[in-house]
Amino acid sequence: MAIINATITMSSDVTGYNTSINKLMTMTKAGTLAGLDQATGLVRKTLTSTNEVDLLVVGAGVVADVSATKAAKLYIKNVNSDSSQYFTVGLGKASAGAAKQAFAVADDVNRSVEIGRLYSGDWLLIPWVAASDEHDVFVKPSVSTSMVIEYMVFFE
């Protein structure tokens, strides 16, 4: 049986906050202790404009088999070396098309919400609910020069 583990090791010597964290998470299926057993494969995309891009569209492409009733984890990384360049990451509705307002408020079905920025070498690993097109994942490069992002979804 497949087992997918994620490990994070973090240490900080920031004054007053000396911290050392070493955690292991076994990615499990919804409501069980059985491990996740599927993945989209590692995808790398080169983006050459500052336009918002639908990285993961619910029910389409590499994530067509991910559903709302199943567990899924999303990994995204900015693999660029320029520390001034970043990707803005957001969640929202892709089908709103031109009417969609980028990274605005989450309660309007035609909008998306910004969850943060990934600078050079930054990555994230979060749970993802592939419930509807209101849960698509967007990225927006900070510059129009060639920027590379990689991502992968682990799911059941």
Q: Is residue 25 part of a domain?
A: no
> What distance in Å separates the CA atoms of residue 9 and residue 82, rounded to the nearest whole number?
24
Specify the higher pLDDT residue, 95 or 57.
57
8, part of any domain: no
Where in the sequence is the domain holding 113, given as residue range(s)? 40-155
State the average pLDDT over residues 83-97: 78
Q: Quick check: is 76 in a domain?
A: yes
Residue 70 sits in a domain whose CATH number is 2.60.120
Is residue 25 a contact partner of residue 33, using CB atoms and an 8 Å limit? no
Cα distance between residue 74 and residue 39, in whole Å: 10
Confidence grade of residue 105 (pLDDT, cut at 50, 70, 90):
very low
Residue 21 lies in a domain: no
Look at residue 148 and tell me if it is in a domain: yes
Would residue 89 count as lying in a domain? yes
Instruction: Read off the pLDDT of residues 106-128 as tens digits, 9 standing for 90 and up.
Output: 455 556 688 899 999 999 999 98
Confidence at residue 74, expressed as pLDDT on a 0 to 100 scale: 92
Total domains in the fold of the chain? 1
- Work out the mean pLDDT of the chain and round it to a whole number: 82
Cα–Cα distances in Å, from 14 out to 18, 117, 123? Answer: 6, 22, 21
Whole-model pTM: value is 0.82
Alpha-carbon distance 66 to 155, whole Å?
A: 7
Give the Cα separation of 45 and 47 in Å (integer): 6
Q: Are 142 and 50 in contact (CB under 8 A)?
A: yes
Residue 22 lies in a domain: no
**Model confidence pLDDT, tens digit, residues 29-75:** 988 888 888 888 899 999 999 988 888 776 666 666 677 778 889 99
In a domain, 125, yes or no: yes
Query: Which pLDDT score, from 0 to 100, does residue 83 have?
Result: 93
Alpha carbons 143 and 102: distance in angstroms, whole number: 16
